[in-house]
Amino acid sequence: PAVGAPGRAATAVAHPNIALIKYWGKRDERLMIPYVDSLSMTLDVLPTTTTVRLDPTARTDSVTLDGSPAEGEVRRRVTDFLELLRERSGCFEPAVVDTRNSVPTGAGLASSASGFAALAMAGAAAYGLDLDRTGLSRLARRGSASASRSLFDGFAICHAGRGAGATADIGSYAEPVPAPDFDPALVVALVDEGAKAVSSRAAMRRTVETSPLYRAWAASSRADLAEMRTALLRGDLDAVGEIAERNALGMHATMLAARPAVRYLSPATVAVLDSVLRLRSDGVPAYATMDAGPNVKVLCHRADAARVAEAVRGAAPGCSVVTARRGPGARLQTG
Ligand code: 2P0
């Protein structure tokens, strides 16, 4: 659409998602095509709200994150994404982007997932791109591969796709995974809210290039995914938790074996992992997963969430704990 098309300004809200089967490694960094399929739960907490407004009078894009001008890598990733929206829409106006995160940015808490899901949805609307949810998911993937999954409620799979170039681009998107009777709690332990020392992008690249364990994990991840789908259909928390925990620990093992090693897990992470083992030996089903950071997310029955939160707080004094459940896919804010 040309200048003056519908859109012009739009606001979207998206929630983070936590992968139960992890995405780690890209086979095409420009198109952001993952090596492996991944499967996640979208949360009902810590949303990102993003407004995109076209400004024909501006010379460059303006990007603010939580009220401050974005700089460096963050700004570059957002402006690259706006470039993609301009190429697709044929509308070359600069944009004013305002993003509010309720999750610490870059701390391994899926801020890029909620961030690029919200930016894709608001940006597509502002630039007048007519995309269905699959198209929006594919678009969000270009910002951050995990963002493709935050377009959907509850559980979602991101397909790694096949082939190269346009074929790979078309085949890599997320879609919902049925889990009709599964509504667990995810207790998020924020043991450290600082930004990570190594970006996930750099860490993935190093892992794929140097870790002798990477291929073995990718192969086992395919088997984990198939088992995970049936466990979700059955609503079997123990099976879902066991598969998620081993998949996450395996992903961290690939990083620990990279040269030089990438280690996101801290002493507080390990203390929380120990508390999860103690909960299980006390008969409370609880299972841990960790992303590109020291924070731990513990999957459990909703009825056990308060007990799990207490155990986690005891293990890592001073950490903040947020209890989530399955939440909504990204949506435009109207009015
Ligand atoms: C995931 N993570 O599946 C995995 C598991 C972290 C560990 O996706 O380079 O910020 O933007 O695609 O999405 C974090 O990496 O990486 C991530 P990019 P992203 O949730």
pLDDT score of 192? 85
Same domain as 147, residue 13: yes
Sequence-distant (≥ 6) Cβ neighbours of residue 176 within 8 angstroms: 152, 153, 154, 155, 156
Same domain as 192, residue 173: no
Same domain as 157, residue 209: no
- Distance from C-alpha of 240 to C-alpha of 248, rounded to nearest angstrom: 12
Q: Is 23 in the pocket of ligand 1 (CB under 6 A)?
A: yes
pLDDT score of 196? 81
Let me know if residue 60 belongs to a domain.
yes
Let me know if residue 335 belongs to a domain.
no
Select from 127, 155, 177 the last residue of a domain: 177
Range of the structural domain that residue 18 is part of: 9-177
Count of domains forming the chain: 2
> CB–CB of 32/144 below 8 Å?
yes
Sequence-distant (≥ 6) Cβ neighbours of residue 74 within 8 angstroms: 63, 65, 105, 106
Tell me, in angstroms, the distance from the centre of ligand 1 to residue 56's CA: 34
Let me know if residue 330 belongs to a domain.
no
Same domain as 273, residue 191: yes
| DSSP for 80-92, written as a single string | HHHHHHHHHHS--
Same domain as 117, residue 19: yes
What is the ipTM for the molecules in this complex?
0.97
Protein residue closest via CA to atom 20 of ligand 1: 19
CATH number (domain holding residue 275):
3.30.70.890
Same domain as 224, residue 202: yes
CATH number (domain holding residue 30):
3.30.230.10
CA angle 267, 272, 275 (to 5 degrees): 130
pLDDT score of 107? 55
> CB–CB of 105/58 below 8 Å?
no
Q: Is 37 in the pocket of ligand 1 (CB under 6 A)?
A: no
Same domain as 190, residue 133: no
Let me know if residue 315 belongs to a domain.
yes
pTM, two decimal places: 0.95
Select from 140, 155, 177 the last residue of a domain: 177
Same domain as 16, residue 149: yes
pLDDT score of 2? 43
Question: Which sign does the torsion angle of CA 9, 11, 16, 21 carry?
Answer: negative
**Ligand 1, pocket-test mutation among 146, 206, 207, 224, most atoms within 8 A of CB:** 146
Same domain as 200, residue 82: no
Let me know if residue 307 belongs to a domain.
yes
Select from 123, 153, 177 the last residue of a domain: 177
- How do the pLDDT tens digits run along the chain, 335 residues long? 444 455 699 999 999 999 999 999 999 999 999 999 999 999 999 999 999 999 999 999 999 999 999 999 999 999 999 999 999 999 999 999 999 988 665 555 667 999 999 999 999 999 999 999 999 999 999 999 999 999 999 999 999 999 999 999 999 999 999 999 999 999 999 998 777 889 999 999 999 999 999 999 999 999 999 999 999 999 999 999 999 999 999 999 999 999 999 999 999 999 999 999 999 999 999 999 999 999 999 999 999 999 999 999 999 999 999 999 999 999 999 86
Tell me, in angstroms, the distance from the centre of ligand 1 to residue 288's CA: 17
Ligand 1 atom with least separation from CA of 113:
13
